[in-house]
Amino acid sequence: MKFATGQTIKQLQDELVNNLIKRGIGGITDKRGRVIPFTSYAELLSRSIVAETQNTCVMNVAKEHDKDLVKMTQHNTTCPICAVYEGRVYSLTGKDERFPKLSNIPGFNKGYNNIHPRCRHRITPYIEKYNDVKEDIKNSNRPFEVDKDKEASIKAYQEEQKEKARLRNDKKDYEKYSQILGEEAPKSLQSFREIKYNNSEQWNDLKENFKIVDSYKVDFGSVNVRKILELDKLAFDAKRNKQISRFKKQGNFAVLQYNDHTKFASSRIAYATDTEYIKFKGNKEDLVLLKDEGRVFKTSELGDIVDCEENKIPRHFDTEAKFFEYLNDVAKNEEINEIFMLSEKKMCESCRNVAKQFIKKHPSIKVNVVSSKTFDGWKGR
């Protein structure tokens, strides 16, 4: 359908959105204090403009041809407001007293030429010789209240609106899931909704994957979604299932992959004499320990400002710092082309500086690091 200017509704919406953005308007606050996003507001406004324009055109054409009567369309589904007014014949001027005056009904009584925003009802010219006038007079003058025979169409309308709301919400969710999960997201909105409503197991997995990936940020290099999920599973399972009970949810835990090797590090495990190391249930050779002497990379000292706070712990105990010292030693005897590292908690400023030192010393090694967006890490999982 074309608007009077030759625009489609979608083109009109886009133009409205762009104009609102240029004016710095991010949303509209309604009478109940709800903030309506400008994209939704533009959709509401554009559809209302189209409806008003169509109704205004009919009214103008009727007046030009000395026609005073118009009829409101009737639909299988209708809102409670329109249910009272649809299907009736109206007089534009009020001179034809056989029918109610159009300007007395909601919307039209305020000059909007529309009952309410986003209304689907339209007025059409009413030609008496093609209609049952007696029946229309009777129908048009019935009390302005919801008839019992309208209850079914109102209920159908309400269900229709619920489904439209679900669809709108699903579209928003699908956009979010696609943005975060990329190639791992369902390929279409239809498949997304199929999973959401008909496959609870797959839907729970999808939600969990979204939550996991969305909790991380890429600090160095590039890491795709599949790799993030792989590293997260390795690290999470190792921390929860291979550490002694009291440290399953304490400290920071990280995983490192290079040259088909997988290594782990814990901020709670520094030496081979530590109880946590001795009681580690996995392969102890997979754990990277603290390099006590001859460390190459500088870490923040006690009292330094780290992430806007005074540093109160020796930062060479950090998991990432231990990994980079370990990799530096490995690189002396083994060629490393690329590494992947994932840290449960947010990478601190000290460890970021260590990573930069490593990259400067080993420019041929591609460094890819992912860490949590917060220092809470896996809290709540």
pLDDT for position 3 = 45
pLDDT tens digits for 241-281?
988 776 677 889 999 999 999 999 999 899 999 988 999 99
Residue 292: pLDDT above 70?
yes
Other beta carbons within 10 Å of 323:
26
Task: Average the pLDDT over 351-366 and give the result.
Answer: 98
Task: Average the pLDDT over 153-173 and give the result.
Answer: 94
pLDDT tens digits for 4-46?
445 565 666 667 667 766 766 656 676 777 767 666 777 777 7
Determine phi and psi for 369, rounding to 5 degrees: -130, 135
pLDDT for position 312 = 80
Percentage with pLDDT > 70 across the chain:
91
Please give the Cα distance from 191 to 187 (Å, whole number): 7
Residue 190: pLDDT above 60?
yes
Please give the Cα distance from 116 to 108 (Å, whole number): 9
Q: What average pLDDT does the structure give for the chain? A: 90
pLDDT tens digits for 197-245?
999 999 999 999 999 999 999 999 999 999 999 999 999 999 999 887 7
Please give the Cα distance from 95 to 113 (Å, whole number): 19
Please give the Cα distance from 273 to 56 (Å, whole number): 86
Determine phi and psi for 337, rounding to 5 degrees: -95, -35
| Contact assessment for residue 27 and residue 14, using Cβ atoms and an 8 Å cutoff | no
What ranges do the domains of the chain cover?
Answer: 9-146, 155-213, 216-372
Residue 35 pairs in a beta bridge with: 29
Q: What does pTM read for this prediction? A: 0.74
